[in-house]
Amino acid sequence: MAKFVNNLYKNQALFYKVFLFILTSVLIVYLLPKGGKFKYEIPKGKPWQYENLYAPFDFAILKTDAEINAEKQAIKNNHIPYYKFNAEVVERVKEDALQEIDITFSDTILSQFKPQITGFINQTIDEIYKNGLLQENNRLEPDQLIYLRKGNEAYQISYKNLLKQGEIRSFLNSRIEGSGLMPFRTELLEVFYDSLEPNVVFDNELTQKELESKLNSISYTRGSIEQGSRVISKGEVVEGDKYNVLRSLKTEYESQMWSKSNYNWILLGYSALVCMALLMLLLFIRKYRPAIFENNVKVTFIFFNIIFMVMLTTIVVNFNINYVYVVPLCILPLSLKAFFDARLGLFAHVITVLLLGFIVPNSYEYMFLQIIAGIVTILTVSELYKRANLFISVGQITLVYIISYFAFTIIQEGSIADVKAEVFITFLLGGLATLFVQPLIYIYEKIFGMVSDMSLLELSDTNSKLLKELAEKAPGTFHHSLNVANLAEAAANEIKANAMLVRVGALFHDIGKMHNPTYFTENQTTSVNSHDELSPRESAQIIIDHVIKGIEIAKKNNIPDRVIDFIRTHHGTTTVYYFYKKEKETNENAPSDDFRYPGPIPFSKETAILMMCDSVEAASKSLKEPTSALIDNFVEKIINKQMDEGQFLNANITFKEIQLIKKILKRKLKNIYHLRIEYPE
């Protein structure tokens, strides 16, 4: 049992990666669409390259979007609206009219003509409200049919048979002229105007309800194909009705495949493909990025980004498939490049796009566009911390999307008439969303504790609190750090290492000297040497302690571990040779380990560069009368000694790169010690 627990403890990092791999696979399989995949690509406008295809089962032929939209439009155009007739208004108008007669006409007139007047008004009101009085004017065409609903019954009439309120005056004048009551025209008009009111209104609720019912009853299929019938022959062009039949077969196939009987088999297939894709990524990291593979936080970060992109795409596809290109997928290679390198970013991007091919329709087109966009992202974004570079790259990515989509459309449709302008808008929105990568990188830094070039740029500011403190307490050390930073940056650029990282590491590598600044020669401003009162062993310990003190100060000031690594390794396991030799003058058997830095030795190109530059710059102060030959020999001697001591065995740096670094250091030192002519006083 103890042995098992011991093995479990030793291999906990490996077990964690296995757990992470399984968890990521399960989540991605869960997010995949619940349906089978049609095994043929449907190349619209091109010959069918597969063998003759026969219907595996009976299926209905789906109508095209254009056909369905045309049917809907026809239903809307031919739909008969409903109007509601209010009978209570008619009775109320008649009562009001009889009262208005007594008010409007004089008693003399009423005594002689009241029966005629009353009969005329009642008869006219009946004619006005025969079909109803409508307040609106010319809402529909005159010959447009409508339904007039009286109670629970509806009658179909022409819209022109409804009397509109704007037509009342002419209607009344014509009736009065033929009635023999022309002398009382003014009084009669007054009675009608004071009494009449509309009693027919547009019934919007019933009209819309009836329209929706008709639209919902539309059949989305037309005809069917029987099992065993030939769908398409090899070499036949996929267009028109053939394309619609194939599209219908694909839809039916994918819906039928996901059933209880074959659910487990399809799930197994999805799981195998997802696991294979993620395994390829994991093996790539293990073989070509072993430092990242050993770091569980970094592996978690990579897998988290993949899950995040798959989840985001799934949400958008489920919401509206037309917005799939709004998802800023290029954020993935940008983020990974910011924290790691371009090659890993592109590889992870391709794996993610392959997984998303299960989710999106037109998967080949989608994968082509996204892979090309990812390549452009990797090639164009060189320095993410420069805002202009990001905006330029986003513009280039958007342009690549637009050109690729345009090319695919004219290949598939054969003309530019079917190019959809709204798709270009989604590309622009996706490009704008890509700009979110900068705040996202900041969030990742806080969550995962990693460092990007943007953070390094902030740390390289010499006006920061810690570097200002170094300049005040140990000005000589600060000047030395600046010189080392310049040398290291030039060397890193020469061998294509991370110049920004090595510069920041150089600026902070000696901050431990703030603890006892006067014990380091570059900070001694008088002839008094603090080491004169100490034994060589004590002096060596103070010198060695500046590494430990530097790590403590850096951690206290929240300097990232990636930068602290430079403090740990800039002396490797070398000895404080001056005091060691001094100790040997009095003690021949003095152990060298007492005068040796604790290490570790450099484990990257950047930390190896810093060790070389730090040693060369510090020792160069001892050159009295430097010449070109003297500088060349001086640089060779120092770096060769470090190589002989095995200081670069753990760093992935080649002999050729070391030679290039030597060349740069020689040239820089010659520039620094360049002798000028003596100016006359």
Quote the CA–CA distance of 355 and 281 in Å, as a whole number.
12
Q: What is the mean pLDDT of each run of 10 residues along the chain (681 residues)?
A: 62 88 92 70 74 80 83 88 88 85 80 83 86 79 86 85 84 82 83 86 88 87 81 79 80 65 77 94 92 90 95 89 88 88 92 91 85 87 65 84 83 70 84 85 85 82 90 91 93 90 93 87 75 80 90 91 91 84 76 83 92 90 79 90 91 92 90 58 53
Q: What is the pLDDT of residue 261?
A: 60
Q: What is the pLDDT of residue 386?
A: 63
> What angle is formed at CA 462 by the lines to CA 457 and CA 465, rounded to 5 degrees?
100
Domain boundaries along the sequence of the chain: 2-35+262-448, 82-202, 454-672
Q: What is the pLDDT of residue 1?
A: 60
Number of H helices, E strands in the chain: 28, 10
Q: What is the pLDDT of residue 169?
A: 86
Helices (H), 592-654: 605-619, 628-644
At 146, give phi and psi (nearest 5°).
-135, 160
Helix axis angle, 499-508 to 475-494, nearest 10°: 160
610-to-589, 672, 678 alpha-carbon distances in Å: 32, 18, 35
Quote the CA–CA distance of 158 and 131 in Å, as a whole number.
10
> What DSSP letter does each residue of 543-596 carry, written as one string?
HHHHHHHHHHHHHHTT--HHHHHHHHHSSTT-B-HHHHHHHHHH-TT--GGGGB
660-to-90, 391, 493, 656 alpha-carbon distances in Å: 105, 34, 10, 6
Fold of 454-672: Hypothetical protein af1432 (1.10.3210)
